[in-house]
Amino acid sequence: SDFVEIWGKIMMTGFRLNLSPLKEPLGFVKLVEWVTIFAFGSCGGFSGRNIVSLVCGDGKNETLNATFHYPFRLSQVRLVDGNTTLCNHSVTTTHLMGDSSSSAEFFVGVAVICFLYSMVALLVYLGYMHVYKDSDFGPMFDFVVTAALAILWLVCSSAWAKGLQNVKDATDTDGIGATLALCKGSNVTCEVTEFASMRTLNISVLFGYLNMFVWAGNAWFVYKETRWHSQKYSSQPGPARQQVPAPI
């Protein structure tokens, strides 16, 4: 098979360091793709806390902490522990509403896969480019994987953008008010007075869409290395050649 043939060439020829691919779009873009580390780093390491202030009817104030973090399983985050008295009301165990773990973990998973693949591909470009260009399998496999990952970036970034909005909605004043029964139909006013900074989460979404464009551009440069591209241009008719009269 093509894979066995390529593996045999790699074992015979060995690693040949060549930095010239970094001067070409094919290798340079692969280096740029390392920015994926910022995408999953800014999302996977997040932890924040919102402070909820309760103004009781008798003028007394109560404070609650809503602490949440990756992977944002908000339904497992306790807002109130059981048998707690707030504003002279007994409140049962209350959790935040919502679960954005699937979209967050999908986003981080795609980012990790892309980061690892870009490292492996760059290693091949710098050390085994002679094998890469000597076969049809290498560029074609690289193109299919790169194009698929570009599509995954679009899908996971869109899913995570929606998941992040759900996190914001569940932890703002309206979300807390809908979660905490004490805030409904009583003389208790609930308001989030201190919000966790979600700047890094917003940045992660931006990096997600940025990576989609970077990987799509990279797919084009990889496509130009495949035989599909070369066959396309070799099959196009060239300019008509003039008939040169035979010498007398």
Inter-residue contact 117 to 149 (CB < 8 Å): yes
What pTM was estimated for this model as a whole? 0.81
Q: Where are the domains positioned within the chain?
A: 1-234
Please determine, for residue 234, whether its predicted confidence score (pLDDT) is greater than 70.
Answer: no
Question: What is the rounded CA–CA span in Å between residue 105 and residue 115?
Answer: 15
What pLDDT score does 225 carry?
81
- Could you give the CA distance from residue 56 to residue 50 in angstroms, rounded to a whole number? 19
pLDDT tens readout for residues 83-104: 788 888 888 888 999 999 999 9
| Average of per-residue pLDDT across 37-61 | 84
Q: What is the pLDDT of residue 139?
A: 85
